[in-house]
Structure 1
Amino acid sequence: MLLEAVWIGFAFSIGLLVRVFGLPPLVGYLAAGFALSVFAADLGLPVESGEVLDHVAHLGVLLLLFSVGLKLNLRSLVKVEVIGSGLIHFAVSVMLLAPALFWVMDVELYTAVMLAVALAFSSTVLAAKVLENKRELRAFHGRIAIGILVVQDLIALVVMSLASGTTPSPWALLLFLLPLARPVLYRLLDVSGHDELLVLFGLLVALVVGGYGFELVGLSSELGALVLGALLAKHRRAGELSKSLWSIKEFFLVGFFLQIGIGGLPDQQAWLFAVVMTALLPFKWVLFFALLVFFKLRARSAFLSSLSLANYSEFGLIVASIVLPEWLVPLALTAALSFLFSAPLNRLAHPLYERLATRLLPFERNSRHPDEQPVSLGDAQVLIMGLGRTGTAAYDHLKDKCRVIALDSDPARVEMHEQMGHNVFFADAEDQVFWQSLDLGKVSAVILTINDMEAKIIAARKLRSSGFEGQIVSHSMHSDEAEKIIAAGADQTYLTMSEAGVGLAEHVYQSALAPTVR
């Protein structure tokens, strides 16, 4: 119990400290892991992470990948820009890194190749975590990044299988029948209710059916969790299931980041290796950016996707644990430093693009990707930005009263509304090029119901800077955020929960008390 108490204490303290400086808490968890390695002897604790933390970390990764699967559109993976960028980037990275490691570090050719393979991957955990926190998993650039990561993970599974000399069981062929089990899974999800049974259902499918089930047939448990999540992605309650697992997943993921730091204290050579590899991360970003632009993505989408991938992968550690155990500590340190480099940059991704846009736009090709074609608002009077529950309710209320149009950055959600006959289109409110090519036409009011506060601030600011003089109304969950949105140019910001309370009270008064007062 003492060991777990120390882990939690270090993680909370250092996580809170880095958050004060504007960094994501996961950076603090990594630092806490290394701090535990340094002070382990003084605290009377084992240096190794231990079986309990290893298990917790593994569960966190499985639940994260299951959550990614719940938001995954499989059709977005079978695209030339995803498969092409993933495969070409991996091949070029290995071909450049392997000879360099062989000649500079004077290691065996096999070791150099395996190190290059481990360093060619990007972190699924970090990218998914960052994109999820910004609610961008379903945005176009988020889907591209996750698609490339899935391609890389599949490559990693093949590499680990070949390197370890093991092959999947013949029973693994039965997994091609999994889509036939979707009606059963849908039915179980329907009858699971909204409380603890829903959480248990998610844990059962992610950890037992997906994780352990895939391990039994010789495949990766990580792949199993991702696949089972994708099987449930089209269910109407997939979002609710993901939210029900959120806190459990977040807690377990703390164990993953702690585990990286506790893995061992690096020596001077490990530090040198990690620093040099971290210094090469910009080249990793440049190669991804060039490939995505080549496949007709706009500069903004290519920038955001490639920035999510500018890090080193936890799968590299798994590969090293199988074929290069003596390199595990240097690779763990390299991954940790890449997280320290990547996490803050991804947090500032949109403002960074704002500053670099004029330099990046010339690299765009003349043709556009089909998902990024410009749109026209026609004769709409009201524009609703964001089609979550609040935006959908606003649309339903206004659609019979005026000409209304809505946008959302989730293509699956846009498709759903189009099938309902709604006037919607796909666009990202944080896209500078979108604002530059937007003709507001007859729009006299804009309703901001986007989830992300930064997106609402950018939208309000862009609307005012483009000369829009109509009304801008936003919703917000917190009063401090509301003030920032007002300062960016919104006329009014409604606190969602407060307005809901007022609405409930007014309903009760009108239905129960007003008649007696009169």
Structure 2
Amino acid sequence: MFLEAVWIGFAFACGLAVKRVGLPPLIGYLTAGFAISSLPGTIAMPEHADYVLSHVAHLGVLLLLFSVGLKLNLANLIKPEVIGGGVLHFAISIVLLAPGLYFFLDGDSYRAILLASALAFSSTVLAAKILEGKRELRAFHGRVAIGILVVQDLLALVVVSIAGEATPSPWALLVLLLPFLRPVLHRLLDASGHDELQLLFGMLAALVLGGYGFELVGLNAELGALLFGAMLAGHRRAVELSRTLWGLKEFFLVGFFLHIGIDGVPGVDAWLFAVVMLALLPLKGLLFFFLLIGFKLRARSAFLTSLSLSQYSEFGLIVASLVLPDWLVPLALTVALSFIISAPLNRKAHPLYDRFAPWLIRWERNTRHPDEQPVSLGRADVLVMGMGRTGKAAYDYLQSRYEVIALDSDPARVVDNERAGRSVFFADAEDPGFWQSLDMGTVRSVVLTINDVEAKVIATRNLRSSGFDGLIVSHSMHQDEADQIMAVGADQTYLTMSEAGVGLAEHVMQSGRV
């Protein structure tokens, strides 16, 4: 137990050190893993501890993908740029990489294709974590990136099967019945309440039903966790469930990155291979960029999507453990170094685009993707941002006197409100691209009823920076959050609980019974 405590402390120290220099802590966890792997046998990771850490790492990946699934709209996956971009990039990457790897593997074409396949994938874990950290999972480029990663996960099933993984059993056909399970999952989430039972339900859905359930029928556990999350994505409490799982997911992911580094100490040949692969990494991003431009994306969206996918995947380690054990350490080093390069570049993605925009825009096609058309609010007087209970109440009260339009980032909620006769469109207030294409029309007032305080801060800041000088009114649960919103330009911020108390008191006074 003493050694385990030392390793946890070492991982924390390395994570804190890299965070201080502007890198994500996960780079520190990778470094800690390599350092622990190089220690003498009496100090290094014993077999039982490595076994436990590998399971912790697996649970972290499953919880991350389940959380990503909670924010997915499956309809967004069935898009030409997602399916075409994912499949074409995979095929072209193999064609380009396999001939060179053929010589590295002494003329073994089968192993060369498998290794090329492993290098063709992008890291679901890193890309999802970067997009989640920047709050861009629901932005257009974030949705395209996650969609392509899902396509890659499906392709991964084929590669793992070819590489010798167990063939899916006939019971795998039961996956086709998953849509019928969705109402049951929604009812269970409703019944689980808001406390520890909700946390347990999330773990049941992600780890047992999605992860272990898919493994039992010979399918990919990670894909199962993502799909079960996606089936809950339209639920009104999906965001709450994601927040409940957040801390647990972050803890387990430390084990994932630590375990990658512990797999072995890289030698000279491993470093040489990694350096060559890193030199080719820009080609991976360029291929994504030009494919997405071909599918009518703007240069900005194509660039941001490509950058988020420009790293090698931890899936390469799975392939190596199956049929290329002698390539496990070189691939682990390659993946780790690509993470080190990709993470800080993605942190500066928007400034990088601004710098290279004149060159990148030259490659745009004359047409524009339908999802990126400018949004005009037309002749509306009031914009309501966020259509939960508070937003619907504000909309219904105002529409008797004004022309009101609303937006929400939950597609299911948009559909429900449209059926109720309200004018609502899908948009994410945290998507920079939305603000660049927004035409406020005749809107004079904005009501912020979004649940997330950071989203309200971002919306207020973008409204003011775009020149909007009308009224901005928000609600908040806490005074410190209200102060943040006011500091960036809101005119008024009401404390929800205080206003509810005042409203109750007014009803008492109006009753005349006091």
Q: Which amino acid aligns with 1:490?
A: G
**1:401-441 CA distances to partner (integer Å, 9 max, x unpaired)?**
53333334554444343333333333455666655554323
Q: Is the 8 A contact 1:49 1:262 kept in 2?
A: no
Give the Å deviation of 1:240. Answer: 2.6
1:392–1:27 distance in 2 versus 1, CA, 3 Å:
farther
Q: Is the 8 A contact 2:105 2:111 kept in 1?
A: no
1:215 counterpart = 2:184: no
Give the Å deviation of 1:485. Answer: 7.1
Give the Å deviation of 1:332. Answer: 0.9
Q: Greater shift after overlay, 309-318 or 350-359?
A: 350-359
1:381–1:350 distance in 2 versus 1, CA, 3 Å:
farther
1:356–1:434 distance in 2 versus 1, CA, 3 Å:
farther
Q: Is the 8 A contact 1:321 1:328 kept in 2?
A: yes
Give the Å deviation of 1:313. Answer: 0.9
Aligned to 1:95: 95
Partner Cα separation in structure 1 for residue 214 and residue 281 of structure 2: 33
Q: Which amino acid aligns with 1:370?
A: P
Partner Cα separation in structure 1 for residue 396 and residue 402 of structure 2: 11
Give the Å deviation of 1:381. Answer: 2.5
* RMSD across aligned positions (CA): 3.4
Give the Å deviation of 1:106. Answer: 5.2
For normalisation by structure 1, the TM-score amounts to 0.87
Partner Cα separation in structure 2 for residue 385 and residue 463 of structure 1: 12
1:146 counterpart = 2:169: no
Aligned to 1:315: 315
Partner Cα separation in structure 2 for residue 361 and residue 454 of structure 1: 31
Partner Cα separation in structure 1 for residue 346 and residue 388 of structure 2: 24
Give the Å deviation of 1:213. Answer: 1.9
1:66–1:268 distance in 2 versus 1, CA, 3 Å:
same
Aligned to 2:36: 36
Q: Is the 8 A contact 1:386 1:407 kept in 2?
A: yes
Give the Å deviation of 1:217. Answer: 1.8
Aligned to 1:59: 59
Aligned to 2:177: 177
Superposition map of 1:409-488 within 5 A = 409-427=409-427, 435=435, 437-447=437-447, 463-464=463-464, 466-472=466-472
Give the Å deviation of 1:170. Answer: 1.8
Q: Greater shift after overlay, 226-235 or 91-100?
A: 226-235
1:186–1:441 distance in 2 versus 1, CA, 3 Å:
closer
1:137–1:436 distance in 2 versus 1, CA, 3 Å:
closer
SS of match in other structure, 1:245: helix
Q: Is the 8 A contact 2:138 2:428 kept in 1?
A: no
**1:61-92 CA distances to partner (integer Å, 9 max, x unpaired)?**
11122222222222222222211111100011
Aligned to 1:325: 325
Partner Cα separation in structure 2 for residue 436 and residue 194 of structure 1: 37
Q: Is the 8 A contact 1:76 1:147 kept in 2?
A: yes
**1:450-483 CA distances to partner (integer Å, 9 max, x unpaired)?**
6788876775565455543334556789999988
Give the Å deviation of 1:258. Answer: 0.7
SS of match in other structure, 1:280: helix
1:298–1:450 distance in 2 versus 1, CA, 3 Å:
farther
SS of match in other structure, 1:407: strand
1:165–1:18 distance in 2 versus 1, CA, 3 Å:
closer
Give the Å deviation of 1:325. Answer: 0.9
Q: Greater shift after overlay, 315-324 or 14-23?
A: 14-23
Partner Cα separation in structure 1 for residue 482 and residue 503 of structure 2: 25
Q: Greater shift after overlay, 251-260 or 373-382?
A: 373-382
Give the Å deviation of 1:51. Answer: 0.2
Aligned to 1:272: 272
Aligned to 2:350: 350
Q: Which amino acid aligns with 1:33?
A: G
Structure 2: gaps spanning 5 or more residues:
none
Partner Cα separation in structure 1 for residue 149 and residue 206 of structure 2: 19
Aligned to 1:129: 129
**1:245-300 CA distances to partner (integer Å, 9 max, x unpaired)?**
22211111111011111111111221222222123222111111111111112222
1:490 counterpart = 2:489: yes
Q: Which amino acid aligns with 1:121?
A: F
Q: Greater shift after overlay, 61-70 or 230-239?
A: 230-239
Aligned to 2:84: 84
1:115 counterpart = 2:108: no
Partner Cα separation in structure 2 for residue 231 and residue 432 of structure 1: 27
Partner Cα separation in structure 2 for residue 394 and residue 23 of structure 1: 42
Aligned to 1:197: 197
Aligned to 2:241: 241
Identity of aligned residues (%): 67
SS of match in other structure, 1:425: strand
SS of match in other structure, 1:158: helix
Partner Cα separation in structure 1 for residue 361 and residue 476 of structure 2: 33
Give the Å deviation of 1:385. Answer: 4.6
SS of match in other structure, 1:306: helix
Q: Which amino acid aligns with 1:205?
A: A
1:16–1:421 distance in 2 versus 1, CA, 3 Å:
farther
SS of match in other structure, 1:406: strand
**1:222-244 CA distances to partner (integer Å, 9 max, x unpaired)?**
22222222233333333332222
Aligned to 2:367: 367
Partner Cα separation in structure 2 for residue 444 and residue 88 of structure 1: 46
Partner Cα separation in structure 2 for residue 89 and residue 63 of structure 1: 27
For normalisation by structure 2, the TM-score amounts to 0.87
Q: Which amino acid aligns with 1:382?
A: V
Aligned to 1:257: 257
1:480–1:504 distance in 2 versus 1, CA, 3 Å:
closer
Partner Cα separation in structure 2 for residue 387 and residue 134 of structure 1: 23
Partner Cα separation in structure 1 for residue 479 and residue 302 of structure 2: 34
Q: Greater shift after overlay, 92-101 or 426-435?
A: 426-435
SS of match in other structure, 2:406: strand
Q: Which amino acid aligns with 1:118?
A: A
Q: Is the 8 A contact 1:139 1:411 kept in 2?
A: no
Aligned to 1:296: 296
Q: Greater shift after overlay, 74-83 or 112-121?
A: 74-83
Q: Which amino acid aligns with 2:218?
A: G
1:85–1:386 distance in 2 versus 1, CA, 3 Å:
same
1:192–1:73 distance in 2 versus 1, CA, 3 Å:
same
Partner Cα separation in structure 1 for residue 343 and residue 476 of structure 2: 25
Partner Cα separation in structure 2 for residue 62 and residue 378 of structure 1: 44
Partner Cα separation in structure 2 for residue 303 and residue 219 of structure 1: 33
Aligned pair count? 513
Q: Is the 8 A contact 2:418 2:424 kept in 1?
A: yes
Q: Which amino acid aligns with 1:277?
A: M
Give the Å deviation of 1:119. Answer: 0.4
